[in-house]
């Protein structure tokens, strides 16, 4: 069984990490259920294991949290759905690459419920949408904006951290970092794309698509 938690209001980042640490230990020990936690954070930046100092453009703007998840700098804040996934990857095939691909497919399937086509791009972590309505990039390519970030960590084959999907955050807040180290493309949200999607709407889509993506047989099942 997977427990689903939806937190109202804004959740302190340190409190969230402490919860995940405790829950992951319980899952690894066979003493707690897997968990998907949906929440929002107050405005903050997080730095993954690949974060470069020069990509933090305004270090005094919001709190900066160093984290041992994969990836570079990301922004979290109100209007962004953060999805922390505490799942036993060991029981789900011992395949980290496949697990990340499942997370990507999950986001893309949820976005598709709102007629948004998400894309995965080689060398660019996260989920992207094409923006033919915007001017081309400096190199003449099609402009693409990031709508979801992915960054996980494993301990004893149990995952934590996870994904964030932009519903209606203040996109200007992303200007304090180089999101994921990528300068050629921007960020967007469901509302920025002209879709009146609420956090509750996205939660329903995520819950509906979860089983379809993660219901593959587990080891030993």
Annotated binding-site positions: 69-76, 149-151, 162-164
Annotated binding site for substrate: 69-76, 149-151, 162-164
3-class state of residue 16 by DSSP: helix
d(CA 202, CA 182): 26
d(CA 19, CA 4): 14
d(CA 195, CA 15): 32
Is 35 a residue of the active site? no
Determine how β-strand 2-6 pairs with β-strand 34-39: parallel
Q: Catalytic: which of 171, 180, 182, 187?
A: 180
Could you tell me which of 98, 85, 73, 75 has the C-alpha nearest to residue 173? 75
Could you tell me which of 142, 14, 24, 171 has the C-alpha nearest to residue 87? 24
Q: How many degrees, rounded to 5, is the angle at CA 55 between CA 186 and CA 177?
A: 50
Residues taking part in catalysis:
180
């Amino acid at each position: 069984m997977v427990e689903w938690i939806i937190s109202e209001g804004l959740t302190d980042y340190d409190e969230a990490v402490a919860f995940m640490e405790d829950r992951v230990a319980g899952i690894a020990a066979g003493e707690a259920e897997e968990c998907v936690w949906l929440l929002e954070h107050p405005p903050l930046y997080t730095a993954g294991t690949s974060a470069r100092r020069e990509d933090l453009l305004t270090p005094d703007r919001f709190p900066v949290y160093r984290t041992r998840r994969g990836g570079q700098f990301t922004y979290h804040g109100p209007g962004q759905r953060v999805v922390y996934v505490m799942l036993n990857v060991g029981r789900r095939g011992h395949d980290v690459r496949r697990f990340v691909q499942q997370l990507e497919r999950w986001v893309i399937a949820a976005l598709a419920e709102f007629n948004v086509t998400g894309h995965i791009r080689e060398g660019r972590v996260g989920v992207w949408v094409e923006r033919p309505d915007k001017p081309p990039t400096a190199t003449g390519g099609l402009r693409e904006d990031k709508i979801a970030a992915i960054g996980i960590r494993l301990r004893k084959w149990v995952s934590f951290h996870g994904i964030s999907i932009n519903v209606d955050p203040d996109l200007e807040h992303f200007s304090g970092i180089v999101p994921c180290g990528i300068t050629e493309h921007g960020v967007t949200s469901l509302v920025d794309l002209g879709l009146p999607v609420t956090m509750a709407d996205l939660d329903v889509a995520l819950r509906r698509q979860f089983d379809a993506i993660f219901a593959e047989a587990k080891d030993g099942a």
